[in-house]
A and B are shown apart, each in its own frame.
Chain A
Amino acid sequence: DVKVTQSSRYLVKRTGEKVFLECVQDMDHENMFWYRQDPGLGLRLIYFSYDVKMKEKGDIPEGYSVSREKKERFSLILESASTNQTSMYLCASSPVEGNQPQHFGDGTRLSIL
């Protein structure tokens, strides 16, 4: 069974802090994704990666960066956290073969004070 693990369920940080959200998957998937979920807006793609050290911007990359040094790990970085980055963050992974669903972690609820 696919397991996508996000390091924290809840996180509280202060404005201006550098924040790291970690995600690990155990299925040797090539593709990994970071989304944020906000009420009334659904899930919006921040960044994705289709291979180690590769990254692509999603729909809302501003204020974020990512790191993929190992295949199983994909990190989301908030360079200087702001209150409008308070959200639920979801990580997902999928294999490179076409028409395969993405598997999601349980999310990190991040509050920026």
Chain B
Amino acid sequence: DQQVKQNSPSLSVQEGRISILNCDYTNSMFDYFLWYKKYPAEGPTFLISISSIKDKNEDGRFTVFLNKSAKHLSLHIVPSQPGDSAVYFCAAVEQTLGNEKLTFGTGTRLTIIP
């Protein structure tokens, strides 16, 4: 059972426009959410996170929004740049014993068109 879902396997966006990546989850015990970015032949790198006590977190061109009632989060990238082309994974944590066990979505491949 996929507890974290990214329903769009791929997304293409024009350079300079906004990219919006979506993620849904089913486990109401998740209390911390992260976005990772992955280039081919490299490990995922942490991008931005949000705690369940917030509904928005911003870091430069990246903003994550959390809607707890809808169990939905989204990552906004604006303006999109060619270097943003990568696979993006959302992940969720149910903090138990401080193990920080992450549950990942299946990923969305973002392509920025110059």
Q: Does A13 contact B (CB under 8 A)?
A: no
CB of B59 closer than 8 Å to a CB of A: no
CA A43 to CA B10, docked complex, whole Å:
17
Q: Which residue of B lies closest to A54 (CB)?
A: B99
Contact count band on A: 20 to 34
Please determine whether B43 and A42 come into contact, CB atoms closer than 8 angstroms: no
- Distance in angstroms from B92 CB to nearest chain A CB is 12
User: For A56, what are the chain B residues with a Cβ–Cβ distance below 8 Å?
Assistant: 99
Q: Beyond the given A42-B107, A50-B97, could you list 8 further A-B residue pairs with CB under 8 A, ordered by the A residue number?
A: A9-B41, A42-B104, A42-B105, A90-B43, A98-B95, A102-B46, A103-B46, A106-B42
Residues of B within 8 A of A (CB): 4, 6, 9, 32, 34, 36, 41-46, 49, 51, 89, 91, 93, 95, 97-107
Binding site for B on A (CB under 8 A): 4, 9, 31, 33, 35, 40-45, 48, 50, 56, 58, 90, 92, 94, 96-107
